[in-house]
Amino acid sequence: MPYPYVLLSAAVSLDGYLDDTGPERLLLSGPADFDRVDDVRASVDAILVGAGTIRADNPRLLVNSPERRAARTAAGRPEYPLKVTVSATGDLNPGAQFWHTGGQKVVYTTPEGADRLRAAGIAADADVVALGASLDWRAVLEDLHDVRGVRRLMVEGGGTVHTQLLQQGLADEVQLALAPLFVGDPDAPRLFGPGAYQSGRLRLVETRQVGDVVLMRYEPTAPGTGAVASAADRHWLSLACDLARQCPPSSSAFSVGAVVVAADGAELARGHSRESDDPVVHAEEAALAKIDPADPRLPGATVYSSLEPCTHRASRPRPCARLILDAGVRRVVTAWREPDTFVTGADGVGALSAKGVDVVVLPEYEEAATAPNRHLLT
Ligand SMILES: NC(=O)c1ccc[n+]([C@@H]2O[C@H](COP(=O)([O-])OP(=O)(O)OC[C@H]3O[C@@H](n4cnc5c(N)ncnc54)[C@H](OP(=O)(O)O)[C@@H]3O)[C@@H](O)[C@H]2O)c1
Ligand SMILES: [Zn+2]
């Protein structure tokens, strides 16, 4: 179930607020940053805000630059990104600018919310999609991806929506514009609320001065839990696929990359096939060999491997699935099920699952995982 790339974007005061409590929207960033946001909007397929932001700010959520809109249409894309909102209650003003500017719109809601929105006439301006009594973000992202072709989604708040997406491990990137002012009102909306965040220690990928605000771009690092993949899972699996490209070429074995990541998002080790002049070492084996077997982080760790771990090996006493079990690791994320090239009926996924390991296969990375192995697959 592939999701769009989810980019959270917000401007925030030095004391962590998104707005004050006055009737007018508080302007946190300046013209240079609004132009930067316009550029990000022009790059995405859809922009999402929560119903609270529509009620509080009455935003239009447009690409304002005619040049950027022209570039979109020249590239065969709609002039404006799809506008998306979520509302459980359906309590939205049919006169809001959201419905009457820009291109297509969709609102995800509950059955009761859908009745209310239809009664208000909003179905004339937007697709009203009822997703069930409790609105599930994964269902929203799946619908955006599969039904509406959204590959890149920008989320522009508010705090309730940002908090849920980060806490559920669904954000791929966070872009914060830190504004040099204080709000100081405890009743003002905060950017991030209380709760358990499935994001780990975020990785800082960029800082940039934009006028008098500082743009900070972060990526989550913490693996997902159980059978559910997080944005960080995609990052680490993509890294494993990159590592597979570093393997010395071989006509008799696959090129595979692997990374072992702790629950808090810390990388414990990485490896690739045939590394360090060992002609038979496997990626998972090479990575695990770099970790102290007594490391207390292993039971909470995730092994990312571009190819599913092996279950039969002539060159070593223990195959990689066994090494993973013996290391106490309980979660594996992989991109590619082993074809019958060297052994028939390889089933590392089945062997690990049978021992209670959570195994997640992300087929959207299969192409990257197979790329360095094309010569073996004819
Ligand atoms: N500084 C910035 O960059 C920035 C950006 C955006 C917003 N803001 C500020 O943020 C404030 C609004 O933030 P907010 O947290 O109140 O609102 P919000 O996050 O925009 O929207 C919250 C609403 O979205 C709906 N919603 C959220 N999650 C849902 C779920 N899982 N299922 C169903 N519905 C869900 C609910 O709508 P219903 O109540 O209709 O059910 C909920 O009340 C405003 O003051 C605005 O100015 C600032
Ligand atoms: Zn192996």
Query: Strands, DSSP E only, in 110-212?
Result: 127-130, 152-155, 173-179, 203-210
Ligand 1 atom nearest 18 alpha carbon: 1
The pLDDT tens digits of the residues spanning 216-239 come to: 999 999 998 888 888 899 999 999
- Residue by residue, pLDDT tens for the chain (378 residues) are 678 999 999 999 999 999 999 988 899 999 999 999 999 999 999 999 999 999 999 999 999 999 999 999 999 999 999 999 999 999 999 999 999 999 999 999 999 999 999 999 999 999 999 999 988 999 999 999 999 999 999 999 999 999 999 999 999 999 999 999 999 999 999 999 999 998 889 999 999 999 999 999 999 999 988 888 888 999 999 999 999 999 999 999 999 999 999 999 999 999 999 999 999 999 999 999 999 999 999 999 999 999 999 999 988 999 999 999 999 999 999 999 999 999 888 899 999 999 999 999 999 999 999 999 999 997
Could you tell me whether strands 257-261 and 302-307 are parallel, antiparallel, or unpaired per DSSP bridges? Answer: antiparallel
Ligand nearest to the CA of 132: 1
As residues whose CB is below 5 A from the ion ligand 2, the structure lists 282, 310, 320
Ligand 1 atom nearest 49 alpha carbon: 20
Query: Using a 6 Å CB cutoff, which residues line ligand 1?
Result: 10-11, 18-19, 25, 28, 49-53, 56-57, 86-89, 91, 135, 156-161, 164, 189
Distance CA 154, CA 4 (A): 10
Ligand 1 atom nearest 159 alpha carbon: 15
**Is the Cβ–Cβ distance between 161 and 168 less than 8 Å?**
no
Ligand 1 atom nearest 56 alpha carbon: 44
What burial class does residue 192 get, using C-beta atoms within 10 Å of its C-beta: 0-12 exposed, 13-18 middle, 19+ buried?
middle
What contacts 329, CB < 8 A, 6 or more positions away? 260, 298, 299, 301, 302, 303, 357
pTM: 0.88
User: Measuring from atom 38 of ligand 1, which residue has the nearest CA?
Assistant: 87
With b for 16 or more beta-carbon neighbours within 10 A and e for fewer, the 333-370 pattern comes to: bbbbbbeeeeeeebebbebbeeeebbbbbbeebbebbb
Domains of the chain listed by start with CATH number: 5-219 (3.40.430.10), 231-376 (3.40.140.10)
Q: Mutate which of 34, 57, 160 to test ligand 1's pocket (most atoms within 8 Å of Cβ)?
A: 160
Q: Mutate which of 26, 116, 161, 175 to test ligand 1's pocket (most atoms within 8 Å of Cβ)?
A: 161
Task: Please give the helix or strand (H or E) that residue 216 lies within, else none.
Answer: strand 213-219
Ligand nearest to the CA of 87: 1
**Is the Cβ–Cβ distance between 246 and 257 less than 8 Å?**
yes
With b for 16 or more beta-carbon neighbours within 10 A and e for fewer, the 295-305 pattern comes to: eebbebbbbbb
